[in-house]
Structures are given as C-alpha cells and as structure tokens.
C-alpha cells in the first residue's frame, strides 16, 4: 500500500502509534415531526440495519470532482472535469463517477452538511463522533474527547461470536477510538493488504509451533499463574485491563471458525475479486462485506490520501475510476445478496475542498484546500431511500445553503438506522453523564 500523507505529513506508521449547520425549510418541519414521534412512549429508533460499513476518505475529499460538480460556475471554480448525468434527472456527478452515477437509485447523496472545523484533527473528530472538539486542536492532532461511532455501535450491538465487533482496515482513523468506553470497544486493526497473495491477519492463525490443545493448555496455565492485581475500575487507567482485553480478543480469533472463514478471502471467486477491483481498497471493501456476513456490526475501510492541495486533477483521473467501481460494486453486491437493507454503507471524509484552486507563492498548484462549509456524503442501505439527494450547495460550491445539516444530524442518522437512540446518555467510569449526540435529530429524508 502506498504511503499516503495528509498535508501535516501523517502516515500510516504515525496512525498505528495511536491505538454547525442549521435546519432550514421543510427539513426543520420534518425533523420536528421525527422528534415528536420519538417522544411518544415506546417510540424511538427502530433498527433498519444491523451492520455499518464506513468508508473513511481521510484528508477531505473534494465535492467538486466527485458528487457535486458546478458546471455553471466560472472556470476557476468548476475545475477541469466534465459532468455525467446520474440516474436521477437533473442530478450531475463528476465525469469519473460513472458507475455510482448510474446507480444513484440504490443510495442517497447528502450535499448539505457543513461545520466549522477546517483542519484534519478537529474535522475528523467531529464527523467520526458527532461531537466537536472541546478545545482547539491542530491539523495533525490525534484527538479523542468522545467515543467514535464504531466504538458506540460495538458496545450497543456487539455480539459474542469470537469476532471483534469493530474492525478498521488498514488502520484506525485518528478519532476512531473508544475514549471512556474502554479498550473492549477499540477497533481491531487489519493492517495487511488483502490484495496480496499471502494475505494474513494478525492473531487469527495459531502459530505452527503450537498444536491447538497445547495452545489451550498454555492459556490455562497463564490464568493460573497470573496473579496481577486488577483494579476493577477503568477510570484508573490500569494497563493490565487493556492488555487482558487484547489477549482475550486474540485468543477468541485464533480459536474461532467464523474468524477463519471470514478472513479467508481466497474463498471468493476470481470473478468477484476482479469485480471489486484487484487493489487494496477494492479488496478491503470485499473483506468488509465478508465481515458483515460473519455478523460484525461495524467496519471502517480507511482510505487515505484525499488531501489534494496540488495536482488534484492528475491524481483523481487515475484514482476515481477504481474508487467509483469498488464502492458501486460493494453496494450492488450487498443488494444482490439481500444484505443491503440490513447493512448501512457510508462514504465521507472530514470536510470538502475550497471552491477556488490553491495558490502558492503567486502560482496555482492545481489543488484545493480544506473547506468545511460544504461536503458530500454517500449513504446506502438500512432503509435509506434510493435516489434521494438531501440539500444543495450554492452555484459556486462555496457553502451548503439548502436544508443544511450538521455532523450531529449525520451521526444521529447513523445511530437511528442501527436502532440506537442518539439521545441516550452514557456515563464515564467517573460517573460523568455524556449525551451520545448533543443534537439527536436525524436527517428526516433518510429515515
């Protein structure tokens, strides 16, 4: 896998070291209706989905060159790409999003999320948790003030089947951790490339030097001789608690037939593997589908390298066709297998990109900078009405102006679709209450 850096120089190696919009128009009316219905006794979110695949486009993908082109804007705004008509009349995508344009009837597109966190660390945290950072953070910061969606879903929907309930491939997003929920709900990171011939997941295979019976006896021995004092309070920060949790997960993986089966991507036909794309990203999308079939409730496919401050057009001409194919194939494959209604698929990054091209020392760099006023988010499955386009940006792509939504509304929608009440109050180990989402109103058009 190539080393894809963001502007602050963060690499995969760095990541592995770290385990405000307003509702307008009819959106407000519908939103208040949803809230009113949820306030009735016995009402609330009814689960449409049991799993979520989050495709995290780290760095901040451009909305202009993907899902929200501006053909009527001046040349310095609209960029070099032309447009393609989607399956929904009047809705255009960038020219390289051909397969997703043709299949818009199978998913929804949100064009009106905006916020005020224009650097990677803060934007990542806001979109991953639905909670803005409590203090200003730098662009390259790894921050965790609130549990991530993946950790919350693992806690609320987790199953005891020998598999971790939260996976992240090939690394964890900088704000993808559990915060006060504890190590049990941290993601299990699959760092190897499933497109390799000798793809191997750490901790899933018993070492060849140990027979299974001998391995089991060693775990029995460990439990007998391990007399370390356990401080039964995660607030203490006792590292032994986290170690025990990682050890338990590793043992469960080694001895789980479901894990062996889920990770054996060679069981897939060559036709299916080629359909997804014989590259790291495409094969991770395929592996995510296999993990859904194995009962894992939350999988993050981390896709870095979307921080295009320069050469955005040359880079995306090469990258977008493969990305478009893999995501469209994932949605179609889930649909063909009868899994799309129970599987939520979401693709987004921390923000969009600037309307005008970047300038450095008076010269254009043919790139776009960070821009939190506008972004595009794809959402499929879990009862999401296909062909729906939520909101709009202005003619130059400067800002979301129609049916504006916040990161809180977006994250509440994810929870709502998974049957988790976004208004739920969590408690830290110290007993401090924390709302799951401060604004628990989901996006009405997607419910």
Query: What is the C-alpha separation between 9 and 5, in angstroms, rounded?
Result: 5
Q: Which two tokens stand for residue 225?
A: 């001789």
| E runs forming strands in 170-328 | 188-189, 298-303
Predicted confidence band of residue 36 (pLDDT cuts 50, 70, 90): low
Give the tens place of pLDDT for each residue, 362-379.
Answer: 666 789 999 999 999 999
Q: Which residues lie closer than 8 Å to 285 by C-beta, 6 or more apart?
A: 53, 55, 276, 277, 301, 326, 327, 329, 330
Quick one: which of 341, 331, 406 has its CA closest to 373? 406
Mean pLDDT of the chain: 84
Does pLDDT of 110 surpass 90?
A: yes
Q: Which two tokens stand for residue 137?
A: 């953070």
Query: What is the C-alpha separation between 307 and 240, in angstroms, rounded?
Result: 38
Q: In 10 A of CB 210, how many CB atoms?
A: 13
- Can you give the pLDDT at residue 40? 44
Asked if residue 101 lies in contact with residue 87, where contact means CB atoms within 8 angstroms, the answer is yes
Quick check: is 2 in a domain?
A: no
Quick check: is 136 in a domain?
A: yes
Does pLDDT of 149 surpass 90?
A: yes
Quick check: is 289 in a domain?
A: yes
Residue 220 per-residue DSSP state:
H
- Can you give the pLDDT at residue 27? 47
* CA of residue 143 relative to chain centroid, distance: 16
Higher pLDDT, 254 or 403: 403
Quick check: is 171 in a domain?
A: yes
Asked if residue 1 lies in contact with residue 280, where contact means CB atoms within 8 angstroms, the answer is yes
Quick check: is 415 in a domain?
A: no
State percent of the chain over pLDDT 90: 66
- Can you give the pLDDT at residue 39? 45
> If DSSP codes are grouped into helix, strand and coil, which group holds residue 317?
helix
Place of tokens 């009962």: 295
Q: Which two tokens stand for residue 393?
A: 């940006």
Does pLDDT of 88 surpass 80?
A: yes
Quick check: is 176 in a domain?
A: yes
Quick check: is 109 in a domain?
A: no
Q: Which two tokens stand for residue 391?
A: 């909101």
Q: In 10 A of CB 46, how many CB atoms?
A: 10
Asked if residue 126 lies in contact with residue 133, where contact means CB atoms within 8 angstroms, the answer is yes
State percent of the chain over pLDDT 70: 75
Asked if residue 152 lies in contact with residue 297, where contact means CB atoms within 8 angstroms, the answer is no
Higher pLDDT, 236 or 220: 220
Higher pLDDT, 246 or 182: 182
* Range of the structural domain that residue 168 is part of: 121-144+160-366
Asked if residue 117 lies in contact with residue 418, where contact means CB atoms within 8 angstroms, the answer is no
Q: Is the dihedral of CA 126, 131, 132, 137 positive or negative?
A: negative
Asked if residue 346 lies in contact with residue 334, where contact means CB atoms within 8 angstroms, the answer is no
- Can you give the pLDDT at residue 12? 41
Query: What is the C-alpha separation between 376 and 97, in angstroms, rounded?
Result: 13
Average pLDDT over residues 58-78: 95
Q: In 10 A of CB 239, how many CB atoms?
A: 9
- Can you give the pLDDT at residue 199? 87
Average pLDDT over residues 214-236: 49
Q: Which residues lie closer than 8 Å to 180 by C-beta, 6 or more apart?
A: 147, 234, 426, 428, 429, 434
Query: What is the C-alpha separation between 347 and 110, in angstroms, rounded?
Result: 10
Average pLDDT over residues 14-33: 41
Q: Which two tokens stand for residue 373?
A: 């006023």
Domain count, the chain: 1
Query: What is the C-alpha separation between 191 and 1, in angstroms, rounded?
Result: 10
Cα 428 to Cα 146, 233, 240, 243, 280: the distances in Å are: 10, 11, 19, 20, 37
Query: What is the C-alpha separation between 219 and 93, in angstroms, rounded?
Result: 55
Asked if residue 241 lies in contact with residue 182, where contact means CB atoms within 8 angstroms, the answer is yes
Cα 410 to Cα 66, 82, 111, 147: the distances in Å are: 19, 29, 12, 15
Quick check: is 424 in a domain?
A: no
């Amino acid at each position: 896998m190539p080393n894809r850096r963001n502007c602050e120089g963060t690499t995969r190696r760095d990541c592995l070291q770290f385990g405000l919009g307003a509702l307008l128009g009819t959106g407000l009316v519908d939103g208040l209706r949803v809230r009113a219905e949820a306030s009735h006794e016995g009402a609330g979110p009814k689960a449409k989905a049991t799993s979520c695949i989050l495709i995290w486009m780290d760095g901040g993908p451009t909305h202009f060159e993907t899902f929200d082109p501006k053909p009527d804007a001046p040349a310095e705004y609209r960029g070099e790409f032309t447009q393609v008509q989607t399956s929904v009349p009047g809705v255009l995508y960038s020219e390289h999003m051909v397969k997703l344009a043709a299949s818009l009837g199978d998913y929804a597109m949100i064009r009106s999320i905006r916020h005020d966190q224009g650097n990677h660390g803060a934007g990542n945290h806001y979109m991953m948790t639905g909670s803005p950072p409590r203090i200003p953070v730098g662009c390259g910061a790894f921050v965790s003030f609130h549990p991530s969606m993946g950790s919350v879903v693992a806690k609320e929907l987790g199953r005891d089947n020998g598999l971790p309930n939260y996976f992240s491939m090939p690394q964890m997003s900088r704000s993808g951790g559990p915060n006060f929920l504890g190590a049990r709900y941290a993601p299990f990171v699959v760092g190897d490339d499933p497109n390799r011939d000798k793809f191997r997941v750490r901790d899933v295979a018993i070492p060849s030097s140990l027979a299974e019976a001998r391995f089991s006896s060693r775990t029995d021995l460990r439990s007998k001789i391990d007399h370390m004092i356990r401080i039964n309070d995660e607030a203490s920060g006792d590292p032994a608690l986290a170690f025990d949790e990682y050890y338990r997960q590793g043992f469960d993986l080694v001895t789980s037939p479901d894990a062996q089966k889920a990770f054996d991507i060679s069981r897939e036909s060559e036709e299916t593997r080629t359909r997804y794309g014989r590259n790291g990203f495409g094969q991770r999308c395929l592996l995510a589908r296999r993990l859904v079939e194995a009962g894992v409730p939350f999988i993050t496919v981390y896709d870095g390298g979307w921080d295009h401050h320069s050469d955005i057009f040359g880079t995306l001409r090469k990258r977008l066709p493969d990305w478009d194919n893999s995501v469209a194939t994932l949605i179609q494959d889930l649909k063909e297998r009868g899994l799309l209604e129970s599987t939520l698929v979401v693709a987004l990054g921390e923000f969009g990109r600037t309307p005008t091209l970047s300038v450095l020392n008076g010269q254009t760099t043919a790139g776009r900078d960070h821009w939190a006023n506008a972004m595009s988010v794809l959402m499929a499955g879990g009862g999401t009405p296909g062909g729906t386009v939520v909101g709009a940006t202005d003619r130059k792509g400067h800002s979301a102006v129609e049916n504006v939504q916040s990161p809180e509304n977006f994250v509440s929608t994810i929870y709502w679709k998974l049957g988790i009440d976004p208004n739920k109050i969590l408690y830290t180990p110290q007993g401090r209450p924390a709302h799951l989402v401060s604004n628990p109103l989901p996006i009405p058009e997607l419910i």
